[in-house]
């Protein structure tokens, strides 16, 4: 469908009650009214994470990705009085590959006590705006330092496969941050989906007699050395493995030019989770590659030490291709001291459980894989389920598994270890197409002691075609959901949590204008906020601070400027600019002083 709306703004509103003892806390939507909206030009969000307080102000934050328009991340904060506020967004410079931002995580990779927002953008190696971005909090109110940016070529140098750092194009669908090896340092766990093979790009003359190539499809475990933002720290590679090429390009005895072994079943890295399948206290990286629903496990055996065991993998649906899981999660629902891994099959609509039966996590066998929602379990497959979250969302002290159905419904499905419950989220006309929950993340956003499910929605159209016997009309879609916060409980009720955008801060035109000797500047704050009101000259030089880092309660205020600088001296005639600074955002207007 041709896109009719290109200017987006965020709103929260409630449109429908759920059945089955669930409540909708809020919807975040976009609407064609504001060119400064955080999700300008995007098609929704594919990934979300939340439940963080990076600036230490006691207010929980959510970070969600742009899907489309070059990618990026938007930060929102629960205000504490029934609203969410857009507090930050990453650089908006577009990448060549528009849908390359698919997940965001928060961590402290360099261990300096300041958490970072981490995400990937783009796809192509030669895209200067693509690669890995790390934004570290600076300790101020929702403030961030300039990002650390690794291009794809820069990431390739970290891995340095047999002296050749070539990456090739790569897309990151999903990634995690976890101290998987127990060394008190968080690692970055990334499935890189690139070319099946990457040639020796160092051979520019095509005269190498021992040239080789390695796979561009691989899983990597990375960690930081030193302060990443301090200029002397960097990322290092702890481990890499490929389902296509276990030894990552080591020359084999049978073929000195090429060693693509497929010992782990082959396929493109798609997603992963961290688990302890065998309950031995050692965490594993459970890896999934796209082709044939292929899975294998890498177990951490000590600091920076990892093992594949006997390299057993399971291709669940072989020989059918293009079957995949999206965003698995791990939890011990049956209380046996061992995690199960729960994975959703996007194409078939099945929810799978993976459990250890032989006491060894790295030896996956087909009998350890079970479909939970087949006809014998009393639940039919759901078309295109996308993403899994293990959470105690109903507050009963044990975790449940939640998945989101995709096209046409956006329903929430819960598995509590014994039965399924489907929560109907929307009552929308049947013509409403392609709305799905791309990822859920559990977090106690409002501090009530119960985890909410933050759901990211991608692919919601911005317009709807209404056909009657006499007319066909295209209207703006009133349900352009991007982020939704869902609370599951025993009482059905409705709350309305508005989203406060930068545009909700109002800075009025000064009056009189031009002025002499004084002018009045009015502003309105939608929430309690620390602000500054600063006057600049035409050269951008600061003239005076009418308000300097003072906290105001939400409401409307006025300030008088008498045409003097910070030293109390009268300024020259001319044009001046006054800026209202609030968090990471600024609004500026112009005023003229005449002597």
Residue range 311-330: mean pLDDT, rounded: 74
Confidence bin at 360 (pLDDT 50/70/90): very high
Residue 156: both structure tokens together:
């390739």
pLDDT, greater one: 2 or 120: 120
Per the CB < 8 A criterion, the answer to whether 359 and 420 are in contact is no
Check pLDDT > 90 for residue 96: no
- With 0-12 / 13-18 / 19 or more C-beta atoms within 10 angstroms meaning exposed / middle / buried, residue 40 is middle
Cross-strand pairs, 222: 188, 237
Q: How far apart are CA 412 and CA 406, in angstroms?
A: 9
pTM of this structure: 0.86
Bond prior to 203 in cis (omega within 30° of 0): no
Q: How far apart are CA 324 and CA 309, in angstroms?
A: 24
pLDDT, greater one: 37 or 230: 230
Q: What is the DSSP string of 354-401?
A: E--SSS-TTB--GGGEEESSSGGGT----TT---EEEE-TT-SSS-EE
Per-residue buried b or exposed e for 117-143, using 16+ beta carbons within 10 Å of the residue's own CB: bbbbbbbbbebebbbbbbbbbeeebbe
Lowest mean pLDDT among 71-75, 157-161, 277-281, 373-377: 373-377
Element (H, E) at 158: helix 152-159
Per-residue buried b or exposed e for 233-255, using 16+ beta carbons within 10 Å of the residue's own CB: bbbeebbbbbbbbbbbbeeeeee
pLDDT, greater one: 393 or 53: 53
Q: How far apart are CA 127 and CA 67, in angstroms?
A: 18
Nearest CA-CA partner of 194 in 175, 214, 222: 214
What pLDDT is attached to residue 107?
96
- What is the DSSP pairing of strand 116-121 with strand 104-107? antiparallel
pLDDT tens figures, 250-307: 655 454 445 567 788 888 899 999 999 999 999 999 999 887 788 999 999 999 999 9
Bond prior to 293 in cis (omega within 30° of 0): no
Average pLDDT for the chain: 80
Element (H, E) at 84: strand 84-89
Check pLDDT > 70 for residue 166: yes
pLDDT, greater one: 223 or 38: 223
Residue range 440-447: mean pLDDT, rounded: 79
Does the CA dihedral 415-420-421-423 come out positive or negative? positive
What pLDDT is attached to residue 462?
62
| Percent of the chain whose pLDDT exceeds 70 | 77
Q: How far apart are CA 488 and CA 25, in angstroms?
A: 9
Confidence bin at 71 (pLDDT 50/70/90): confident
Q: How far apart are CA 89 and CA 252, in angstroms?
A: 47
Q: What is the DSSP string of 264-277?
A: T----EEEEEEE-T
pLDDT, greater one: 17 or 172: 172
What pLDDT is attached to residue 535?
97
Q: How far apart are CA 264 and CA 308, in angstroms?
A: 10
What pLDDT is attached to residue 187?
98
List the Cα angle 391/393/397 in 5-degree steps: 80
Q: How far apart are CA 169 and CA 413, in angstroms?
A: 35
Could you give the dihedral angle defined by the CA atoms of residues 176, 182, 187 and 191, in that order, rounded to the nearest 10 degrees?
-50
Residue 404: both structure tokens together:
């989101």
Distance of CA 212 to CAs 67, 124, 168, 247, 433, Å? 36, 22, 15, 12, 47
Which residues are CB-contacts of 583 (< 8 A; sequence separation ≥ 6)? 87, 88, 141, 142, 143, 529
Lowest mean pLDDT among 18-32, 98-112, 283-297, 488-502: 18-32
Check pLDDT > 50 for residue 203: no
User: DSSP secondary-structure letter at 154?
Assistant: H
Q: How far apart are CA 438 and CA 323, in angstroms?
A: 16
pLDDT tens figures, 475-496: 766 666 677 777 775 432 224 4
């Amino acid at each position: 469908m041709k896109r009719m709306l290109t200017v987006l703004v965020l709103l929260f509103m409630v449109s429908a009650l759920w059945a089955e003892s669930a409540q909708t806390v809020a919807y975040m939507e976009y609407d064609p009214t504001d060119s400064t909206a955080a999700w300008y030009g995007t098609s929704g969000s594919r990934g979300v994470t939340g439940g963080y307080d990076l600036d230490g102000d006691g207010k929980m934050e959510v970070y969600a990705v742009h899907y489309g328009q070059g990618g990026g991340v938007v930060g929102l904060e629960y205000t504490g009085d029934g609203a969410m506020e857009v507090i930050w967004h990453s650089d908006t410079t577009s990448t060549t590959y528009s849908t390359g931002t698919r997940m965001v995580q928060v961590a402290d990779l360099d261990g300096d006590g300041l958490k970072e927002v981490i995400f990937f953008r783009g796809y192509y190696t030669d895209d200067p705006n693509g690669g890995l971005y790390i934004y570290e909090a600076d300790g101020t109110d929702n403030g961030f330092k300039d990002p650390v940016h690794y291009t794809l070529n820069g990431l390739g140098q970290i891995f340095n496969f047999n002296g050749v750092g070539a990456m090739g194009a790569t897309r990151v669908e999903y990634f995690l941050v976890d101290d998987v090896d127990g060394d008190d340092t968080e690692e970055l766990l990334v499935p890189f989906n690139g070319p099946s093979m990457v040639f020796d790009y160092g051979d520019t003359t095509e005269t190498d007699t021992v040239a080789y190539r390695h796979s561009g499809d691989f899983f990597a475990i990375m960690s930081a050395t030193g302060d990443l933002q301090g200029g002397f720290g960097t990322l290092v590679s702890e481990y890499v493995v490929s389902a296509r090429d276990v030894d990552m390009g080591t020359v084999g005895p049978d073929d000195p030019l090429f060693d693509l072994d497929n010992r782990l079943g082959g396929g493109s890295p798609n997603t992963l989770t961290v688990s302890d399948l065998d309950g031995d206290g050692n965490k594993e990286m459970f890896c999934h590659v796209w082709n044939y629903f292929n899975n294998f496990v890498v177990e951490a055996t000590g600091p920076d030490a990892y093992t594949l065991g006997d390299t057993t993998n399971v291709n669940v649906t072989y020989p059918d291709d293009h079957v995949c899981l999206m965003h698995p999660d791990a939890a011990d629902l049956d209380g046996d001291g061992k995690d199960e891994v729960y994975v959703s099959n996007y194409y078939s609509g099945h929810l799978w459980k993976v459990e250890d039966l032989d006491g060894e996590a790295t030896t996956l066998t087909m009998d350890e894989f079970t479909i939970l929602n087949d006809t014998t379990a009393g639940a039919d497959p759901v078309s295109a389920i996308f993403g899994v979250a293990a959470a105690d969302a109903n507050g009963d002290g044990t975790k449940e598994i939640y998945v989101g159905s995709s096209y046409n419904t956006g329903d929430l499905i819960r598995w509590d270890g014994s039965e399924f419950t489907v929560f109907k989220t929307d009552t929308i006309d049947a013509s409403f197409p392609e709305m799905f929950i791309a990822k859920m993340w559990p977090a106690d956003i409002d501090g009530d002691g119960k985890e909410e499910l933050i759901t990211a929605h991608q692919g919601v159209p911005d317009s709807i075609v209404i056909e009657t016997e006499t007319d066909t009309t295209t209207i703006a879609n009133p349900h352009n959901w991007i982020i939704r916060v869902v609370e599951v409980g025993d009482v059905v009720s409705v709350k309305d949590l508005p989203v406060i955008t930068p545009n909700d801060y109002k800075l009025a035109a000064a009056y009189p204008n031009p002025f002499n000797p004084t002018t009045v500047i009015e502003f309105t704050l939608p929430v309690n906020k620390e602000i500054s009101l600063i006057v600049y000259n035409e050269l951008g030089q600061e003239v005076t601070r009418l308000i300097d880092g003072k906290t105001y309660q939400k409401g409307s205020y006025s300030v008088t400027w008498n045409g003097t600088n910070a030293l109390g001296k009268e300024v020259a005639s001319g044009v001046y600019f006054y800026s209202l600074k609030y968090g990471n955002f600024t609004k500026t207007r112009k005023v003229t002083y005449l002597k």
